[in-house]
Amino acid sequence: MTPDRIAAAFDRARRDGRAAFIPFLTAGDPSPQATVDLAVALDRAGADVLELGVPFSDPIADGPVLQRSAARALARGTTLSDVWRIAARIRRKTSLGLVLFSYLNPLLRGGLARNAEKARKAGFDAVLVTDLPPEEGADVERLFRRAGLKTVFLVSPTSPPSRMDRAARLSTAFLYVVTRTGTTGVRDSLPADLGATISRARRAARRTRRVRAPGASLPIAVGFGISSPAATRSAATLADGVVVGSALVAAAERAGAGAVGAVEKLARSLARACRRSGRPPGRRVAR
């Protein structure tokens, strides 16, 4: 039976008294080998789950940092087949849960069902389709589930209860709360209403619990704009997982040849900030 690495990651984080640390990388930026090296560094630094992004030419949800990252990967000729190869190497070298982070268009080319199978064989555990609204996601979630993949859907501060419920019902890995409307990117602070948004997401998860395994709770992760240990620490008191992308990609971009060291240093500080108490982290067991 395939291990549920994402559920195990959230369980381990909960036992350690912390939020799960979920970094993001763009596959192929600055190169396939560098992506693998950065993933290994994130694993060493204490990451629990990695979102691996498929570079796309029209990343409407992304800010300038991730747009540049996708452009660099595409300029190097990164394809979806390259993403599968990169993921397979990360799977062999790390114990990270792997989430495929993609827009819908790249997955439609070649067929959703075929790409779902390829994603699972490459070692992905779940899929987050950024521009797939939950109102149109039921058939896609079913297709991914048949391939053995869990799903993640996005909600935001402006999501009405009906959308929160649909997203929670279709999310089988975790529910992703976007901190604010707009695109990804480094921000100086978290919005004042983030706690209220996460509370609404938790209520939606409870309302839809009956469609999951008895007693199972749906983790809530928060992301978009979280870039510093201070912001991470604040988010970790509210959510079960904290997603950081642009800050790590920007650190790699600035460091050039020293990207692995720079990203690992920043990631260690972010992983420490996910702890809610002085309890030391539990021992990680390779899976």
**Residues 131-174: tens digit of each pLDDT:** 999 999 999 999 999 999 999 999 999 999 999 999 999 999 99
Number of domains the chain contains: 1
**Is 51 an annotated catalytic residue?**
yes
Q: Is 173 within the bounds of a domain?
A: yes
Alpha-carbon distance of 232 to 269, in angstroms, equals: 10
Residue 43, both tokens: 């694993």
Q: Which of 16, 29, 37, 51 is catalytic?
A: 51
Question: What CATH number is attached to the domain comprising 29?
Answer: 3.20.20.70
Q: Is 246 within the bounds of a domain?
A: yes
* pLDDT tens readout for residues 56-106: 998 877 889 999 999 999 999 999 999 999 999 999 999 999 999 999 999
- pLDDT (0 to 100) of residue 281: 46
Distances (CA, A) of 239 to 17, 43, 102: 12, 21, 23
Where in the sequence is the domain holding 249, given as residue range(s)? 5-182+191-273
Contacts of 219 (CB under 8 A, 6+ apart): 10, 20, 173, 174, 175, 240, 241
Higher-pLDDT residue of 179, 186: 179
Q: Is 279 within the bounds of a domain?
A: no
Q: Is 48 within the bounds of a domain?
A: yes
Q: Is 281 within the bounds of a domain?
A: no
Q: Which of 16, 43, 48, 62 is catalytic?
A: 62
Mean pLDDT (the chain, rounded): 91
Bond into 30 cis (ω within 30): yes
Alpha-carbon distance of 135 to 155, in angstroms, equals: 12
- pLDDT (0 to 100) of residue 189: 65
**Is 62 an annotated catalytic residue?**
yes
- pLDDT (0 to 100) of residue 62: 81
Residue % of the chain over a pLDDT of 70:
89
* pLDDT tens readout for residues 228-270: 999 999 999 999 999 999 999 999 999 999 999 999 999 999 9
Q: Is 278 within the bounds of a domain?
A: no
Q: Is 287 within the bounds of a domain?
A: no
Helix H, strand E, coil C: the string for the chain is: CCCCHHHHHHHHHHHCCECEEEEEEECCCCCHHHHHHHHHHHHHHCCCEEEEECCCCCCCCCCHHHHHHHHHHHHCCCCHHHHHHHHHHHHHHCCCEEEEEECHHHHHCCCHHHHHHHHHHHCCCEEEECCCCHHHCHHHHHHHHHCCCEEEEEECCCCCHHHHHHHHHHCCCEEEEECCCCCCCCCCCCCCCHHHHHHHHHHHHHHCHHHCCCCCCCCEEEECCCCCHHHHHHHHCCCCEEEECHHHHHHHHHHHHHHHHHHHHHHHHHHHHCECCCCCCCCCCCC
Name the nearest CA neighbour of 27 among 68, 80, 67: 80
Q: Is 241 within the bounds of a domain?
A: yes
